[in-house]
Chains A and B, each alone.
Chain A
């Protein structure tokens, strides 16, 4: 699992590469715990190369969801593979989080 952060003017782009399981969830969690994260208007998560997400991986997004909302930071997922989207959907997260097909839509969201 590789997490790459690309900051721009008002948004932070996180590129996830590989399987997000219990061990790599820690990696992502540190990224979300960085104090400057709340300074952005948007956090865009590129899931193009995210091949699997475990409940621990979902837990990272879930645990930061409220905090991001409280600070008016929008969390947007895009380029999500069907299999991964399925996991989000089953858990009901698709109604809670913004998941869009492309980066352009994510930027516009």
Chain B
């Protein structure tokens, strides 16, 4: 470990600076190569003894370091910029090399005329060109590596590594004095060439180019091939030049890399070229994907329905390149938006109506419908004069129909299965977004309804008397609780002239808003009838007796109460001066009473039909008055069925018997205490159970006779 540390440090250092070191070493070996070349042409006498292996070694080192340097460069392919890579390849080393080469050629033609010293110049130019050629190859090959390894599998990466190792092997082989038999070397050479060719087939990147980009790629590849060709031609000619006696640039490595570079360019060229016709289809697929994304994004921002429809139409037209399209949206879906919505593309509303008629005649189902050859359908012949392909997509969720999308094309077979599935997914996406929007709107509406209910609840609360009548001969306590925001229970009091008190209680069948309306109505009837009749002969006759009140209320309600609804009610008129009360019970709960003198608790047993059950004069027979004399200390408990029908944990009802028992236990208390005692018992009975019905409880206690107030 300790011995290995400096070694690892060295490796780390070399890796970090590999690019620089390899460049320096390449420069040195190129210098050596230049000297060797000059020695070969005997340009410098002092270099006469320069050994041949030195030249070969320098050349091999130079090639090795240049390739190493390229390998150490950052990946030339940035993201998906394939064209950038090709352009840099052509503009950079390619162009430079070609220029330098051109200069070299000119140089050569000049020196051809003047042999003296020409060979030295030639050697220099040759070495420069060799350097450029190697740099060009290195750059090209590593650019190709990036393209080959684009989206590659680990296996391909391993194969490429082996290719590099084998190629450098051929480079090292040059340094050996031993040469394998020709048949072996030829076989190995061919095998390696084929390996390169095999790697050259990896041209996945071409698929990512648009049509225009493909054309550019073709041009760049042609230019690269030309550059390569010029180099090859130069070396082919130069190597036989008697003046130079070139130092064998045709080493297997260079030939192989040149072959590989050329093959890859040619292959890329062909693949790109033959991909040109399909480029449009591929682009269209990409547009489809982008459009689906766009549509999805629109959903996420909660836009209006009209906007969603508009996007669907625009997206559809763009994606499948429709010649005409329109959207049929049911009027009930769009409500107010319809007028402002433009749902026709390249077709007038009138034309669409005509086409719709034609299609209705063809009796298409409610499912997706695609006809790629409209001429074949005689009933659609009129349509076929202008359009040859039709796709029809219903926008439907499980519950709703959001419309139908019609797409038309002039060409036959305009909709392939992919188009249809893309359109389908557009349609589904649209339905989804419309559903979402509906749900969002519904939630808003619900919220508003809740607000309105709250207001209704407040209004109803104001209908319940807050200020209880007071006098020295009685005391009243009340309790009321609605099961929902608004309820159907009601009660009211009115002090009548002559020390009389009218008490009304009632219960509208059903719960909620409807019940609340009728409850308010009953209150109105009560106050109207209890205003008194000014034409009455005497004071007592001014106000209707309870049975009369019930008859009149029944008649009034007959016109507005729905058939299955009814109201139960009791009206008591208590007369202090007479020391008694009269009441009528219209189907309402029995009155619980404590008789102080007899020390007895009982329910009044009386008959009487609920209001709204018989809606004619016949009601009269079903209601009657009951008179009773009260004494001080008597307690009257009036309630609605929400009290006695309240349910306990075992679903059993609270019941009249239990209520009666409670009063037997608390009659001697003040009315407020009695009410509290009963409510506490009821609440402990129903604990944990939801309230099913409105609960109302009134307790009236008659007090001991007070002396007449002196008026």
List chain A positions with a Cβ less than 8 A from chain B.
22, 29, 55-56, 58-60, 62-63, 65-66, 83, 90-93, 95-96
Contact = CB atoms under 8 A, between A and B. Distances in A.
B561 to A, nearest CB: 10
Contact of B613 (A29, A90, A93): A93
B510 interface: yes
Question: Which 7 A-B pairs give the minimum distances between C-beta atoms?
Answer: A92-B609, A59-B564, A55-B509, A63-B564, A91-B587, A63-B563, A91-B610
Contacts of A55: 507, 509-510, 566
B638 interface: no
A64 to B, nearest CB: 9
B564 A92 contact: no
Contacts of B609: 91-93, 95-96
A2 B61 CA distance: 99
B568 interface: yes
16 contacts: A22-B510, A55-B507, A55-B510, A56-B510, A56-B564, A62-B566, A62-B612, A62-B613, A83-B653, A91-B609, A92-B586, A92-B608, A92-B613, A92-B622, A93-B613, A95-B609
A96 B509 contact: no
A63 B608 CA distance: 18
A67 B609 CA distance: 19
Contacts of B509: 55-56, 58-59
A95 B624 CA distance: 13
Interface of B: 507, 509-510, 563-566, 568, 586-590, 607-610, 612-615, 622, 653
A91 B564 contact: no
A82 B694 CA distance: 24
B510 A58 contact: no
A8 B588 CA distance: 37
B614 A91 contact: no
A60 B566 CA distance: 11
A62 B566 CA distance: 9
A76 B580 CA distance: 40
A58 B566 contact: yes
B612 to A, nearest CB: 8
Contacts of A83: 653
A65 B613 CA distance: 9
Contacts, number: 57
- Please classify the interface of chain B as helix (H, G, I), strand (E, B), loop, or mixed, using the class held by over half of its residues: loop
A71 to B, nearest CB: 16
A66 B565 CA distance: 14
A60 to B, nearest CB: 6
Contacts of B590: 90
Contacts of A62: 563-564, 566, 612-613
A51 to B, nearest CB: 10
A95 B622 contact: yes
A83 B568 CA distance: 18
A66 B615 CA distance: 9
A15 to B, nearest CB: 22
Nearest to A92: B609
Given A62-B563, A95-B609, 18 more contacts: A22-B510, A55-B507, A55-B510, A55-B566, A56-B510, A56-B564, A58-B509, A62-B612, A63-B564, A66-B615, A90-B568, A90-B588, A90-B590, A91-B568, A91-B610, A92-B608, A92-B622, A93-B613
A96 B610 CA distance: 11
B622 A96 contact: yes
A66 B564 CA distance: 11
Nearest to B610: A91
A88 B253 CA distance: 110
Nearest to B566: A62
A93 B566 CA distance: 12
B607 A95 contact: yes
Contact of A90 (B563, B589, B653): B589
B653 to A, nearest CB: 8
Residue of A59, A63, A92 with highest tally of chain B CB at under 10 A: A92
A1 B607 CA distance: 30
Contacts of B607: 92, 95
A1 to B, nearest CB: 15
A10 B614 CA distance: 27
Contacts of B622: 92, 95-96
Nearest to A22: B510
A91 B569 CA distance: 10
Contacts of A92: 586-587, 607-610, 613, 622
Nearest to A51: B651
B660 to A, nearest CB: 14
Contacts of B586: 92
Contacts of A22: 510
Contacts of A65: 613
B441 to A, nearest CB: 28
Contacts of B615: 66
Nearest to B488: A55
Contacts of A91: 566, 568, 587, 609-610, 613
A72 to B, nearest CB: 17
A60 B564 contact: yes
A96 B564 contact: no
A62 B607 CA distance: 18
A92 B510 CA distance: 18
A63 B509 CA distance: 13
B553 to A, nearest CB: 15
Residue of A55, A60, A83, A95 with highest tally of chain B CB at under 10 A: A55
Contacts of A60: 564
A65 B610 CA distance: 14
B116 to A, nearest CB: 119
Contacts of A29: 564
A97 to B, nearest CB: 10
Nearest to A67: B563
Contacts of B588: 90
A63 B587 CA distance: 16
A59 to B, nearest CB: 4
A100 B22 CA distance: 115
Contacts of B587: 90-93
B655 to A, nearest CB: 9
B513 to A, nearest CB: 14
Contacts of B612: 62
Residue of A22, A66, A91 with highest tally of chain B CB at under 10 A: A91
A99 B31 CA distance: 126
Contacts of B568: 90-91
A5 to B, nearest CB: 20
A96 B510 contact: no
B611 to A, nearest CB: 10
A93 B612 CA distance: 12
A62 B609 CA distance: 12
A59 B565 contact: yes
Contact of A96 (B565, B589, B613, B653): B613
Nearest to A25: B564
A58 B609 CA distance: 13
A96 B586 CA distance: 13
Contacts of A66: 615
A12 to B, nearest CB: 20
A68 B510 CA distance: 23
A82 B615 CA distance: 28
A93 B614 CA distance: 10
A22 B509 CA distance: 10
A96 B590 CA distance: 19
